């Protein structure tokens, strides 16, 4: 089936196009044209194209969330299996997130291996799902900045454990959030040489240490401001180093709880197109009011999740809401806000040749929305 999308403003990931036709076949984008193609048989307007009239709405690449913990009711780290992955996949789809990395928070080695196996099997069984792989967040953190992660599980890495995880996780683990200061330089290089993108987070590095690890190729920071050494005028910390470095991408949870909107505006001014959005949500849709499991607990409080100690325990926001907040609170354009959840994310994780743009050869997985996403006027479109 060939598809043509008409009467839409097209957010390509680089520009906004009007009065164009988006052409699709076999699940891939054929290109963007000035008009509908003529029929090959009689030179009239093509009758072999299925027309999708968006009636003035906007279309963008599917949103990309590289840090999502749960779906409507399932939490992946608690139950790392098909049921959780299906719940997360469906919830993301419902909110316009058509590509995501399911997050496994700090866990024992057997649970990490179980999660890797579950994701590999799910991707094999459902190659057209939005699941791209795993974001392994922990357990190799600085305990001072562990946040809501279990103190009994947070630990230093050993060469043996890293080798076991890497060998099992090939083509599944895409990102590891680590506290770099807990690793040797050889361990850092080993992970990088095996194609794992490293993100600095849950770290108490000072400014000078952060510069060293940035120079060694760590160009990504997990949830800016949260669970990292903070900025002070005599000790800028990891926060200050990340804000200053032009080659470092910074992820931001834009829900008004994980950081003040004033701090978010400052980050936007300093980072520009190196700032992008994640949710780090424990659950989507706010159906789960509380969650208790082992030493981990989360209660929906003031529109975010907190544990019994009052610490943040994951967000409740969808990526679509984060885009909405960017438009409203950061004073960025609608185009910039959409790119913060699409093309910027793709570039940050080195997948800009595969997702995040509306270009020839890219997957036909789209986010359709009204201006400023008012009244939750959005949907996912997969052709």
- Using DSSP's 3-state secondary structure scheme, residue 320 falls into helix
Handedness of CA 185, 190, 193, 194 (dihedral sign): negative
CB-count burial class (<10 Å; 0-12, 13-18, 19+) for 126:
middle
* Residue appearing with tokens 């806000």: 337
Q: Which residue has the tokens 């590999």?
A: 120
Q: Is the dihedral of CA 25, 27, 32, 35 positive or negative?
A: positive
Catalytic residue, candidates 87, 89, 255, 280: 280
Q: Write b or e for each residue in 265-276: b if 16 or more Cβ atoms lie within 10 A of its Cβ, otherwise e.
A: eebbeebeebbb
Query: How far apart (Å, rounded) are the C-alpha atoms in residues 165 and 138?
Result: 12
280 labelled catalytic: yes
State the Cα–Cα distance between residues 335 and 339, nearest whole angstrom: 6
Cα–Cα distance for residue pair 172/114, rounded to 1 Å: 12
As given in the structure block, the two tokens for residue 190 are 């080993």
- What are the CA-CA distances from residue 77 to residues 167, 216, 259 (Å)? 20, 30, 25
CA atoms within 13 A on the CB side of 62: 28
Angle at 131 between CA 128 and CA 136, to 5 degrees: 160
Give catalytic residues, as residue numbers.
280
């Amino acid at each position: 089936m060939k598809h043509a999308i008409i009467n839409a403003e097209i957010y390509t990931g680089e520009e906004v196009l009007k009065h164009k036709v988006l052409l699709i076949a076999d699940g891939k984008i054929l290109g963007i044209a000035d008009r509908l193609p003529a029929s090959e048989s009689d030179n009239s307007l093509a009758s072999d194209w299925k027309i999708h009239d968006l009636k003035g709405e906007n279309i963008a690449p599917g949103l990309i969330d590289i840090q999502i913990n749960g779906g409507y009711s399932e939490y992946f780290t608690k139950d790392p299996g098909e049921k959780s992955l299906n719940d997360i996949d469906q919830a993301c789809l419902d909110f316009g997130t058509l590509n995501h990395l399911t997050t496994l928070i700090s866990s024992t080695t057997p649970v990490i291996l179980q999660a890797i196996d579950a994701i590999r099997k799910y991707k094999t069984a459902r190659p057209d799902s939005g699941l791209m792989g795993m974001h392994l967040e922990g357990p190799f953190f600085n305990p001072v900045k562990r946040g809501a992660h279990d103190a009994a599980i947070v630990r230093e890495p050993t060469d043996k454990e890293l080798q076991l995880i890497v060998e099992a996780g090939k083509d599944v683990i895409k990102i590891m959030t680590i506290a770099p200061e807990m690793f040797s330089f050889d361990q850092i290089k080993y992970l990088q040489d095996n194609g794992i993108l490293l993100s600095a987070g849950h770290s108490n590095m000072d400014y000078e240490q952060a510069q060293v690890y940035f120079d060694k190729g760590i160009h990504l920071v997990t949830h800016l401001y949260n669970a990292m050494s903070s900025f002070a005028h005599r000790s800028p910390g990891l926060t200050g180093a990340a804000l200053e470095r032009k080659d470092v991408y910074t992820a931001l949870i834009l829900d008004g709880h994980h950081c003040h909107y004033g701090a978010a505006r400052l980050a936007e001014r300093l980072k520009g197109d190196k700032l992008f959005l994640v949710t780090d949500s424990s659950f989507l849709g706010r159906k789960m009011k509380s969650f208790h499991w082992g030493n981990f607990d989360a209660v929906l409080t003031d529109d975010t999740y907190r544990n019994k100690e009052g610490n943040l325990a994951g967000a409740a926001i969808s990526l679509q809401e984060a885009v909405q907040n960017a438009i409203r609170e950061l004073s960025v354009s609608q185009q910039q806000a959409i790119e913060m959840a699409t093309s910027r994310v793709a570039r940050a994780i080195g997948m800009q040749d595969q997702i995040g743009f509306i270009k020839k050869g890219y997957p036909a997985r789209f986010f359709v929305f009204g201006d400023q996403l008012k009244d939750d006027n959005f949907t996912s479109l997969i052709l």
